[in-house]
Amino acid sequence: MTFPVLYKNPIPLNKEAFATVGIRTWMNGLAFAAATHQVPAVGPEFAEGCIHYPIVFARDAAGAVVPLFLLGYRDGENLYLDKQGKWLVPYVPAYVRRYPFILAEGDAATNEAQVWIDQDGFVQDEDGERIFDENGNNSPYLDRVFNLLRDSMVAQKLTMAFCARLQALGLLVEQVANITLNDGSQYAVQGLLMVDEAKLNRLEDSVILELFRSGHLGWIHCHLLSQTNLQGLLSLQ
């Protein structure tokens, strides 16, 4: 089975297995994300994310276009983490903040998504966060997790519509980012898709108005603005 980025051994969250378990997640130290150079992004976080990260597009394993926060130039390189697992900029991507929890497809009969938890993403700790209370109800901690996962699911649907619109308008073009590293060596980041600003400027006024009213135009501008962070990553090396 292929798991999403960061997740190694997720299992369904259930009351029986976690009734009395307290867990200590890695959120006080984000070293679990040290070996990934990109994570999925969603449109509603572009405004905050574009200040710190390059926002790029790429095709996933299924061929769908997805936006990404670029965290490093090379596989296994996250330049936004220090050696103590501390994130170096104020905004941590939602995809990282929700770990070790994730929504996965549930029972086909109910068509409801299930919450899964990565077994490699926490350790059991009696003084840690309780997932369920003494009566088997969701703990306040789990309620916060649910809210984040629900927000992520809504944001993901909006982002899929955004990416489909970009493709329909023919705005995405493949580019290679050529980076000169601090030691003088050069590195080419392959497989990136970017919005072609010249094509964007040639769109009819009615299309621009539609993009503006849908909020997509703002997301496009955030993506374009974020490209200045490609070279800015060098300061984090």
Three-state secondary structure along the chain? CCCCCCCCCEEECCHHHHCCCEEEEHHHCCHHHCCCCEEECCHHHHHHHCCCCCEEEEECCCCCEEEEEECCCCCCCCCCECCCCCECCCCCCHHHHCCCEEEECCCCCCCCCEEEEEHHHEEECCCCEECECCCCCECHHHHHHHHHHHHHHHHHHHHHHHHHHHHHCCCEEEEEEEEECCCCCEEEEEEEEEECHHHHHCCCHHHHHHHHHHCHHHHHHHHHHHCCHHHHHHHHC
Q: Over the stretch 5-55, which tens digit does the pLDDT of each residue have?
A: 899 889 898 888 888 888 887 655 788 899 999 999 999 999 999 999 999
Mean pLDDT value across residues 194-212: 97
pLDDT at res. 121: 82
Question: Do residues 101 and 13 touch, judged by C-beta distance below 8 A?
Answer: yes
The whole-angstrom separation of Cα 80 and Cα 89 is 7
- Distant-in-sequence, close-in-space partners of 20: CB < 8 Å, separation ≥ 6: none
Mean pLDDT value across residues 167-190: 81
Location of structure tokens 């982002």: 159
Chain centroid to Cα 9, Å, comes to: 19
Domain ranges of the chain: 10-236
Residue 93 — very low, low, confident or very high, per pLDDT cuts 50/70/90? very high
Mean pLDDT value across residues 195-220: 97
pLDDT at res. 111: 56
More reliable by pLDDT, 186 or 38:
38
pLDDT at res. 215: 96
pTM, two decimals, is 0.88
Mean pLDDT value across residues 226-231: 89
Residue 63 — very low, low, confident or very high, per pLDDT cuts 50/70/90? confident
Token pair of 143, please? 């309620």
Residue type, 187: Y
Token pair of 84, please? 């103590």
Range in 5-14, 86-95, 183-192, 203-212 the model is least confident about: 183-192
Token pair of 158, please? 């909006």
pLDDT at res. 205: 97
The whole-angstrom separation of Cα 41 and Cα 191 is 17
Q: Over the stretch 104-122, which tens digit does the pLDDT of each residue have?
A: 766 555 556 789 999 888 8
